[in-house]
């Protein structure tokens, strides 16, 4: 398996897609039940293949990632050739993951305690794995509103 197995909740959410996936494998509902009961390793393999397909699709579509912690905001635009990063470092004890802290940031963007950094980073040979590793480290796929806002602000 290339990525990670979907969670039980994710499988429940993608129930119909999983049924369709099994159908493309010519696996009926009865055969699936039989696989789970008598060949659990084969059933596990089907779950892994489906998980990788879902991850691959989501990663191919992802254009922006965000990872926000109490003192840092990492914003990424996932371009074709490389990823662009905008990083905000908060140099005081304001926690931007709280409503109060985020409001402080909005009102104090040009404060000396707010540092902006920008960088471009090339992908490795496996662009989707690069994206996946960032998600494993806490990033979320987004529509990119924050990235575009800060990109306009600092450029």
Mean pLDDT of 75-81: 95
Q: Is the pLDDT of residue 65 over 90?
A: yes
**pLDDT, average across residues 63-91:** 96
Domain ranges for the chain: 8-61, 64-154
For residue range 43-63, list pLDDT tens digits in order: 999 999 999 999 999 999 999
Radius of gyration of the chain (CA): 20
Q: How far apart are CA 18 and CA 25, in angstroms?
A: 11
Q: Please give the torsion angle defined by the CA atoms of residues 28, 31, 36 and 40, in that order, rounded to the nearest 10 degrees.
A: -110
Alpha carbon distance 34, 81 (integer Å): 46
Q: What is the pTM of this model?
A: 0.86
100-145 confidence digits (pLDDT tens): 999 999 999 999 999 999 999 999 999 999 999 999 999 999 999 9
Rounded CA-CA distance 84/118 in Å is 7
pLDDT of residue 137: 95
């Amino acid at each position: 398996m290339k990525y990670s197995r979907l969670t039980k909740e994710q499988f429940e959410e993608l129930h119909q897609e999983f049924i369709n996936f099994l159908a493309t494998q010519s696996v009926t509902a009865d055969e699936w039940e039989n696989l789970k009961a008598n060949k659990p390793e084969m059933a596990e393999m089907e779950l892994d293949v489906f998980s990788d397909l879902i991850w691959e699709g989501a990663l191919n579509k992802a254009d922006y990632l965000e990872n926000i912690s109490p003192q840092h905001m990492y914003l990424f635009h996932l371009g074709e050739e490389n990823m662009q990063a905008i990083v905000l470092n908060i140099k005081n004890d304001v926690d931007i993951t709280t409503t109060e802290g985020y409001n402080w940031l909005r009102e104090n963007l040009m404060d000396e305690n707010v540092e902006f950094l920008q960088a471009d980073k090339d992908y490795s040979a496996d662009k989707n794995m690069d994206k996946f590793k960032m998600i494993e480290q806490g990033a979320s796929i987004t529509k990119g509103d924050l990235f575009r806002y800060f990109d306009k602000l600092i450029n």
